Structure 1
Amino acid sequence: MKKLVSHQLVKYLEDRGIEHIFGLCGHTNIAVLTALETSTIKYVNVRHEQIAAHMADGYARVKKQAAVLLSHLGPGLTNAATGVANAALDSIPMVVIAGDVPTHYYGKHPHQEVNLHADATQYEIYRPFVKRAWRVDSAHLFPEILEKAFRLAESGNPGPVLISVPMDIFSTEMDTCHFERVKHNTKKLHKPSIDQETAQKIIQTLTSSKNPLFYVGGGIMLADAAQELRQLVDHLNIPVAYSLMGKGAVSDEHPLTLGMTGFWGTKFINDKCKQADYILALGTRFGEADSSSWESEYTFNFPPTKLIQIDIDPSEIGRNYPVEIGVVADLKQALTVLNDVAEEILPNGLQPVSLNSLKEEIARNRKAFKESNKPFIQDNCFPMMPQRILEEVRQVLPKDALITTDVGWNKNGVGQQFPIYEAGSILTPGGYCTMGFGAPAALGAKIAKPDRVVVSLVGDGGFGQNPAVLATAFEENIPVVWIIMNNFAFGTIAGLQKAHFGTTLGTVFEKDGEPYSPDFAAIARAYGIEGIKIKAAEEFKLALERAIRINKPVVIDVAMLNNPVPTDGHWNIMDIYSPNKKVHHASV
């Protein structure tokens, strides 16, 4: 029996359990959109492809499966590129299906063809950041490519893949046997674990060391291994530090959670990492900001500290620091075995002599940091102190709320001083640090978990990238709350420029020498969404409580002082700007 490829594609996605597709129309993909009209799959329409990509990213992080992005060719595909690259750098699984020029017109300048170096090569644009890019040159190969694409996106170190499909293939009638055949493939692969002998060596090494430490990254969330990690932490009573992407892997309330390392980490946390004799690193890349530019004076000191590293991606093991024991494994599988071995070797757990004093030290430092923030939290000034905004957001939100951030205070400040209690409840752009991620990612997160409160903490610069997210929120009635921390600037960069070069050219928003910002609350209302413009500090908390209570999309525009996030770590760019000086950011 023959059917249109577009209809067979949609049936394939339904059978695979896909519930949502994010995208934007074009003449190359409307055959697929037509097939979706009678599908169980919900198509989520957007006004810009970058929005679709970030929505798919946020959706995949929360849903814990590959998201599907449908794109038009040429400018549609390049508009989505930033969002897809962001997913790639954070190892988020995504299958991008893009329309392409007709096969019979390759190289003839058909509408929107990319052919400057070779004919019909739009798929080459994605090569630097996707795990693989395919162009479908024959309809009967499309089912096999789809199978390979989903498998590759979700296996190993996850990430996006691209399938570029000439529009005539979507509209081709093809025998259904080709799609029927791939139904027999397993859709879930068994993942590599760790052998018993290596697990015993790791547990014995950690339990015989004087000052061990766990260092965890976003790989814990990707592997859905937070429960196994907490079990090991509780059994061995070893403290935990984390990268920005690892925040929440163990609750910030846990008595052995140290906090975030690196440039925006505190001196106490960074010093604890330097003082460790052994560190077990789980699913982390030891990125520059998390590792204070890898300079041993500030965060990590390998050697003399010795490193045990477990990661699903062999290229990450030993990339930045020498490794004594390196293991390629899925973290959920590896931690399950490590827990079994730890129970066998130490049935009653490990109770270090210094455990109580360590917990007391961590508690004292948390309290001291909180006390140091009190003047800012209690300040009634307006524009508001960023510390007060974050404090009141945390007071209002339920512990399991999903929070997305963008870049700037809302990312760095959240990582440093905003407690996260459940793994996977903070979605932040770590690898690519994309301005414009937070607002649309919140929509994807809410679609994935409609029963959870979802709040997006974004700057005015980031929200201004793609305010058309509000059109999708209104049309689909997606009740996200956006808190725009509005400092009338690209604040973090303005603080850098001011500190090192004494100017803010191109980094602050001004009109005739005066601070300028559009009225984001009015913009929200123009889209049909409730917009609240905060005019005094005491209004903010009440507005947020109401926004959550009404369960509708709401924009809260709150003016904020552009004070820099406190920094105790180090970032080598400071030495590039101002050699031999201890200069960081300045207030603007």
Structure 2
Amino acid sequence: MKKLVSEQLVTYLESRGVEYVFGLCGHTNIAVLAELDKSPITFINVRHEQIASHAADGYARAKRKTSVVLSHLGPGLTNAATGVANAALDSIPMVVIAGDVPSHYYGKHPHQEVNMHADGAQWEIYRPFVKRAWRVDREDLFPEIIQKAFQLAESGRPGPVLVSVPMDIFSKEVDEEKFALLKHHTQVVEKPALDEETAERIVETLANAERPVIYAGGGVVLSQAEEELREFVEHMNIPVAHSLMGKGVLPDDHPLTVGMTGFWGTTFINDQTKNADYLFGVGTRFSEADSSSWYQNVTFNFPKTKLIHIDIDPSEIGRNYPVEIGAVADLKRALVALNRVAKQLYPNGMDRNEKLKEEIQEYRKSLRASIHENVTSDAFPMKPERILADVREVLPRDAYITTDVGWNKNGVGQQFPIYTPGSILTPGGYATMGFGSAAALGAKLAQPNKVVVSLIGDGGFGQNPSVLATAVEENIPVVWVVMNNSAYGTIAGLEMAHYDTTYGTLFKKDGESYTPNFAEIAKGFGVKGVKITSAAEFKHELKAAIEANEPVVLDVAMRNEPVPTDGQWNINDIYSPYSKKSHVSIP
């Protein structure tokens, strides 16, 4: 028996347990929308495709499951591209299904066709950042392509894939047997483990090391290996530093958590990794921000420090630093093996690092003391440190936080404790403005019983305020805290430090500071909006917003002051060679 491809696609998505499809309509995908109307799958309608891809990204992170985006051709696909690229650089599994021009019109340049260099070539737009892009040329090939798409998105290093479907293919019939065959194929491909010999070598090397440090990246979260890592850390008694994407893999109040390294890492944290004799990198690609632009003897000191590195992606082993022991494996399975071997070789665990634990506690006290004045300041516009401190005090330990770019990302990495693994969603590799506001929608859909707060700058929130329309329509109770400094603040401080101007970075009208009233904008969408007028008011309004269990926007005026940093960024040497300049405050 034959049925429409669109109908069988939706049935297939149901069989994979897909709860939501994120997207925006167009004449090329309405055949699929018509079938979704009959399905238990909910279509999350947005006003801009970038919102769809960021929301799908947030859902995939919080649910730990592949998300699905449905896009129109041409401008729909390019609008979504930023969010898909963001997911790609952070290794988030996503299947993008995009309508395309009718296959029988390739080359005639029908409405919205991409064909400047080849006919029917819109799928090529995504080639630089997705794991694979398919163009479906025959309806009978669609079933195996959609199966391959999900499998590839989830296998190895996860990431987005694109399936570009000419609109006539959606409306063609294909034998049900083509889709029925997919039921006989596994939906979960087993991932590589660590062999016993390598596990023994790693455990013995770390046991004999004088100053070992574990360096954890986002791969720990992606492989859901947080508990296995914690077990290994506590048995072997090894401190853990982490990348931005690795924040929260071990609770920030754990006695062996050192903190985030790199640009916005502190001297104490960077010194722990720099002075280690062995560094055990797990699920990290040693990116520029985390590694202080790879400057020698700032965050890391290879090859004096010896590196052990495990990652699911073989291209990451030795990409930026020489490796003494390198292994390609799924981190959860690798850590299971390491824990088994560690308990066999050292059944009573390792007794060490008590002094370091004390030093970590003293460091935390000194960090709190260094920012105490700002944390307790009643100044208005508010000090950014106080905003973060008040948010942390109000939120439960297991709340989900999404960030954007600027203070809300860098400051959170440095100063905002995360206690539940996987509960911090931040744009790491692509550092995309507009991520935090939309990702919060997906996170709340994935975790409806958790509090979800988006910490976002006014520049980022201003990019896609129509997230509020989707929140109202779908009743998604997210709280957006707009840290409003009327500027692209981080870049303004950077430009002032090096060029003595803030041209193009501050929001002004007739020479005076300007900002939209985001609270009133929220009300226009039907969302509760509160414009904070004093530092003392903020915490009370945040508590009320969380308790309201509805979408709320808090517009919080914030001073434009830089995140303190002890790390190093190569742009400082590019802009001002032989100078110590970095960022400055902007009045």
Q: Please indicate the TM-score interval, normalised by the length of the shorter structure.
A: over 0.9
The aligned counterpart of 2:505 is 507
Q: Mapping of 1:188-337 within 5 angstroms?
A: 188-337=188-337
Tell me if 1:34 matches 2:26. no
Q: Which residue of 2 aligns with 1:498?
A: 496
Distance 1:35 1:476 in 2: 19
State the match for 1:21 in structure 2. 21
Q: Matches of 2:134 and 2:80 in 1, distance apart? A: 17
Displacement after TM superposition at 1:296 (Å):
1.5
State the 1:182 CA deviation: 1.4
CA deviations 1:145-193 (Å, max 9, x no partner) are 0111000000000000000000001011221111111111100011100
Give the superposed CA RMSD. Answer: 0.5
Tell me by how many angstroms 1:19 deviates: 0.9
Q: Distance in 2 between matches of 1:454 and 1:18?
A: 21
The residue correspondences of 1:3-18 to structure 2 (distance < 5 A) are 3-18=3-18
The separation in 1 between residues aligned to 2:232 and 2:552, in whole angstroms, is 41
Which amino acid is 1:479 matched to?
P
Rounded Cα–Cα distance in structure 2 between residues aligned with 1:135 and 1:274: 47
Amino acid aligned to 1:33: L
Hey, what does 2:460 align to over in structure 1?
462
Matched residue type, 2:428? G
2:92 matched residue in structure 1: 92
The match for 1:139 is: 139
Equivalent in the alignment of 1:181: 181
Q: Give the equivalent residue in structure 2 for 1:391.
A: 389
SS where residue 22 of structure 1 aligns? strand
Aligned counterpart for 2:354 among listed residues 353, 356, 381? 356
Equivalent pairs: percent with the same residue? 68
User: Separation in 1 of the partners of 2:576 and 2:382?
Assistant: 30
Task: Measure how far apart 1:497 and its partner are.
Answer: 0.2
Amino acid at match of 1:341: V
Write the distance in 1 (CA, Å) between the matches of 2:420 and 2:65. Answer: 19
Q: Partners in 2 of 1:255 and 1:174 — Cα distance?
A: 59
> Separation in 1 of the partners of 2:274 and 2:525?
51
Q: CA deviation at 1:447?
A: 0.2
In structure 1, distance between residues paired with 2:398 and 2:65: 20
Q: TM-score, normalised by structure 1?
A: 0.99
Report how far residue 109 of structure 1 moved: 1.1
Shift of 1:445: 0.2
Alignment pair present for 1:377 and 2:372: no
1:451 aligned partner: 449
Distance 1:496 1:18 in 2: 44
Secondary structure of the 1:53 match is helix
Write the distance in 2 (CA, Å) between the matches of 1:302 and 1:356.
26
Q: Name the residue aligned to 2:577.
A: 579
TM-score relative to the length of structure 2: 1.00
Q: Deviations over 1:334-373 (max 9, x none)?
A: 0000000000011010002xx2211110000100000010
Task: For residue 452 of structure 1, give the secondary structure of its aligned residue in structure 2.
Answer: coil
Q: 2:402 matched to 1:404?
A: yes
The match for 2:438 among 437, 440, 443 is 440
Instruction: Provide Cα deviations, 1:118-162, integer angstroms capped at 9, x if missing partner.
Output: 000000000000000000000000000011100000000000000
In the other structure, the counterpart of 1:117 is 117
For 1:408-451, what per-residue CA distance to the aligned partner results, in whole angstroms no more than 9, with x for missing partners?
00000000000000110000000000011000000000000100
For 1:276 and 1:173, the matched residues in 2 are separated by 62
Unaligned runs of 5+ in 2: none
Q: Secondary structure at the match of 1:372?
A: helix
2:102 aligned partner: 102
Corresponding position of 1:483: 481
Deviation at 1:297, TM superposition (A): 2.5
- Determine the C-alpha separation between the residues in 1 that align with 2:291 and 2:528: 41
In the aligned structure 2, how far is the partner of 1:504 from the partner of 1:556? 27
Residue 376 of structure 1: how far off its partner (Å): 0.4
Which of 536, 540, 543 is the equivalent residue of 2:541?
543
Match of 2:340 in 1: 340
CA–CA separation in structure 2 for the residues paired with 1:182 and 1:111: 34
Quick one: distance in 2 between partners of 1:419 and 1:330? Answer: 27
Deviations 1:82-111 (A, max 9, x none): 000000000000000000000110000111
* Matching residue's letter, 2:526: G
Separation of aligned partners in 1, 2:288 and 2:269:
16
Q: What letter corresponds to residue 223 of structure 1 in structure 2?
A: S
| Secondary structure at the counterpart of residue 21 of structure 2 | strand
Could you say what secondary structure the match of 2:184 adopts? Answer: coil
Distance in 2 between the 1:195 and 1:475 partners?
51
Q: Which residue of 2 aligns with 1:519?
A: 517
Q: In structure 2, how many angstroms separate the alpha carbons of the residues matched to 1:303 and 1:14?
A: 50
CA distance in 2, matches of 1:437, 1:16: 26
Mean Cα displacement is larger for which, 515-524 or 170-179?
Answer: 170-179
Secondary structure at 1:246 match in 2: coil
What is the SS of the residue equivalent to 1:290?
helix
Aligned to 2:564: 566
- Structure 1: stretches of 5+ with no match in the other structure: none
Match of 1:556 among 554, 559, 569: 554
